[in-house]
Amino acid sequence: MNIIQAVNSALRVEMKRDESVIVLGEDVGQFGGVFRATQGLFKEFGPSRVFDTPLAENGIIGSAIGMALHGMRPVPEIQFADFIYPAFDQIVNEAAKMRYRSGGKYTCPMVIRAPCGGGIKGGLYHSQSPEAYFIHTAGLKVVMPSNPYDAKGLLIASIRDDNPVIFLEPKKVYRAARGEVPEDDYTVELGKASRVREGEDITIVTYGATVYDALEAADEAAEEDNISATIIDLRTLLPYDLDAVLDSVKKTGRVIIVHEAPKTCGFGAEISAALSERALLYLQAPILRVTGFDTPFPYTFEEEYLPNKTRIRKALRDTMDF
């Protein structure tokens, strides 16, 4: 499967298993979603469980919160992550606060799916990576898979979780990333990172589409520069698997953090701070971040903006040469 097919499979598995799972959003019904992630669900489960909404993200999320509070498990789709901002208040002030404000009496089990990131020539309004806004919000969980197997397992786990989950899907690799995915039911535990490459010299911490850039850079660095890199795919960003990162950094003594979002106050800054607090005496070089730039996402210079293998290779050499 590719990631689109894996997401579709996860939704189908959960809708068959649990009648309280509802899919809603812009064009998710007969059209099957702009990326076809919900294709076939309307025909199989009908208009009471898969339905289109107006172009009003605050209404989509507000409605989903109401459903969640009344015993349903809605999975609203935001067509592009860039469009999530009209629903920001509903997410961070209502959904995220429900368990706390009710003293644990109420939860808000919902999964907000949103395609994110660049790589498809979408320009400034269809290419943003807003994960840091939501990682900053207590009460949410934030997930970003990089491959089809994880996408299905993490989405099923997210739907079954009793907390609101922001499920970000890197659209650059929606169809480019392919892998073996079981047709049946399985979960990938939230909050656990994955080591996708083992190395001795340096640790690369990343997630989403940049996992593949990191893999390319690490393979080339091993062959041409004799640099051996471990790559950690975080998978879940809130809560994230700090123990896995610490274990690797204590072994390698060097670390690079890679993500598409802008550098200033990006998630890499939090990881860097946590490592400075907990692993400073193990570090043999400064922590480097390879990220998007502190500008709006460009159209013409998209490839220059994204943290590609060339920029990661340079960071690997600079860290090893320190």
Report how far residue 102's alpha carbon sits from residue 57's, in angstroms, rounded to the nearest whole number: 25
Q: What is the DSSP string of 208-228?
A: TTHHHHHHHHHHHHHHHT---
Look at the alpha carbons of 239, 244, 206, 36 in this order and tell me if their dihedral is positive or negative: negative
Beta bridge partners of 288: 256
Helix spans in 51-176 (H)? 57-69, 88-89, 98-101, 131-135, 148-160
| Contact (CB, 8 A) for 291 and 270 | no
126 annotated active-site: yes
Which position among 70, 126, 136, 259 bears the catalytic label? 126
Task: Find, among 140, 132, 116, the residue nearest to 294 by Cα.
Answer: 132
Alpha carbon 20 to chain centroid, angstroms: 24
Among all residues, which ones are annotated catalytic? 126
